[in-house]
Amino acid sequence: MRKIIIFGNSGSGKSKLAAQHPNDGFAHLDLDVLAWLPSDPPARKPINLAYEQIENFMTANDNWVVEGCYADLLEMVKPFATEAIFLNLPIELCQKNARSRPWEPHKYESKEAQDNNLAMLLDWIAGYMDRKDTLSYSAHRALYDGFQGEKTEILYNKERSKE
């Protein structure tokens, strides 16, 4: 059984990489769909409720990939994962990817709504190295460094550092 966590900055390609695994019999969980309450303005779901959904997903599937930028949620998944992939791409590449990403209907009600959020997302991506929250580089670095199984750090689209 393979159980994979994928994490990194917004726009780093987590969803795209995770989407390649279901073709191999993997169930895919995008943490964006359960990390937030349906509120305006958006607010994080209490961590215990999010974890309950994650636990149900892990229990229901033998092979899975869980992806997202939420180090707090991924820390809960980490003990069950056999592999970790840290997408540690340059900020500029993450922003380029965000500008060209297709409509994500599971996150936005329309392509227009997604595009209206782009300026905020680009600013968010730019702050990745400076933030000190659970969605930051420092949180992802700690998650990766503390992972005991097979792990891969992807620095550019093709370059990988395997440990």
Task: Write down the pLDDT at residue 45.
Answer: 93
Indicate whether 74 pLDDT > 70. Answer: yes
Q: Which helix (H) or strand (E) holds 154?
A: strand 150-154
CA-to-CA distance for 88 and 14, rounded, in angstroms? 10
- The three-class DSSP label of residue 31 is coil
Task: Write down the pLDDT at residue 22.
Answer: 66
pLDDT in tens, 16-29: 898 887 667 889 99
Task: Write down the pLDDT at residue 158.
Answer: 57
Task: Write down the pLDDT at residue 113.
Answer: 86
Sign, CA torsion 20/21/24/28: negative
Indicate whether this model's pTM tops 0.75: yes
Task: Write down the pLDDT at residue 152.
Answer: 96
52: its two tokens: 């309950």
By DSSP bridging, strand 83-87 and strand 150-154 are parallel
CA-to-CA distance for 118 and 153, rounded, in angstroms? 26
